[in-house]
Every structure is written in structure tokens, then in C-alpha cells.
Amino acid sequence: MSELPRGVRLGVDVGDVRVGLARSDPDGMLATPVETVPRDTAVATIAACARETEARAIMVGLPRTLSGAEGPAAQKARQVAEELVAELAGDPDPAEVRMVDERLTTVSAHQALHASGRKGRKHRQVVDQVAAVMILQQALDLERSAGRRAGELVAAAVPEPGAAGGPEQEDG
């Protein structure tokens, strides 16, 4: 079993309005909540956190259906992951961005908050962070058992010819 490099890992739970962020210790043993950020500033916030903590990997939850299909929520998560790759592309040693299966983590997060006595109306404030912790902890546990990074690596997009400034436009 090959040993993974030490370093902080971040966990991300993408929602329509908010994004939960969690982080691990440098040894990748335990995930802890960091914050919940508005969706529109999430990529910049996550990238800044990755740089500040010198994160080695960012695990973005991929919400598949129970059958394994990907719906609109999965596409939003993939979009955030791709934006993160682009945001970090200029860094000297950018963190890997990986998609990890997160089926039922938000449901589990709500159940855990309810079991802890937190009222339903207050769940919204922290459920994304709890879900991010669950996503990251699951990835950390898988890393330790498999000896490799969890999830699917998100590669940097290769621009298509003529796509430098957006949609191709005809000359004339």
C-alpha cells in the first residue's frame, strides 16, 4: 500500500444557496467543520482556504441518485469543481480537486442534527457544514483503507480551438 502525502484535505458540500466547507488535520484522520458560505462566493472562499491551509486535495460531494444517476444537483457540484480547478490552475502546486459520491449525506446530516436536539429551523445554518464533514470523513476513511485518494480526479478543462474569449464569432 503506497503512502499518501501528508496535508490538509478540504470537503465541500454544494447546495443551491449555500456551500458547506470542512477540513482535515494534516494526517487526514479527522474532518471538522469550517464554515458555510454563500454559493456565489464559494469558489473564491474555498480556493483561499486551500491556499491558506496548503491543502493537498479538495473533495467535492457528488450527489448521485440512489440508482447512481446524476441529476441537476450533480451538475452544479461538477460545475463548482471545474471552477475550483480553473481558480487554482495558476498556483505553483495546486490542490487536486476530486468528486466523491455523497449519496444521502445531507439526509444523514439532518438526522444527526435532529438527534442532537437542534431544532429544524436552525438546521439550515449548519447542515451544509455537517454534510461537508460527512463527505470528507468518508473520503478520509476510504483513503486510509485503499491507500489512494478517494473519488474521481477533476482535470483542468482544455480550451477548444477558438474558445479563448468565449463563444466563437464569425468574422465579417
Alpha-carbon gap, residue 164 to 26, rounded angstroms = 38
Contact 105, 62 (CB under 8 A): no
Asked if the structure places residue 27 within a domain, the reply is yes
Contact 125, 36 (CB under 8 A): yes
**Of 31, 15, 12, 21, whose CA–CA distance to 138 is shortest?**
31
Asked if the structure places residue 159 within a domain, the reply is no
Asked if the structure places residue 22 within a domain, the reply is yes
Please give the residue range of the domain that contains residue 110: 9-152
**Of 7, 9, 11, whose CA–CA distance to 102 is shortest?**
11
State pTM to two decimals. Answer: 0.82
* CA 123 distance to own-chain centroid: 20
Unique residue bearing C-alpha cell 496535508: 7
- pLDDT at residue 3, as a whole number: 72
Q: Give 107-155 pLDDT, tens digit per residue.
A: 555 566 566 666 655 556 677 888 899 899 999 999 999 999 999 999 9
Q: Residue 106, SS3?
A: helix
Percent of the chain with pLDDT over 70: 76
Asked if the structure places residue 158 within a domain, the reply is no
Judged by average pLDDT, the poorest of 21-30, 49-58, 116-125 is 116-125
The count of domains in the chain is 1
Asked if the structure places residue 143 within a domain, the reply is yes
Whether the per-residue pLDDT at 66 is higher than 90: the answer is no
Asked if the structure places residue 172 within a domain, the reply is no
Q: Give 72-108 pLDDT, tens digit per residue.
A: 999 999 999 999 999 999 999 999 999 998 865 555 5
Unique residue bearing C-alpha cell 501528508: 6
Asked if the structure places residue 107 within a domain, the reply is yes
Give the residues across from 14 on adjacent strands.
Answer: 19
Asked if the structure places residue 110 within a domain, the reply is yes
CATH number of the domain residue 145 falls in: 3.30.420.140
- pLDDT at residue 106, as a whole number: 56
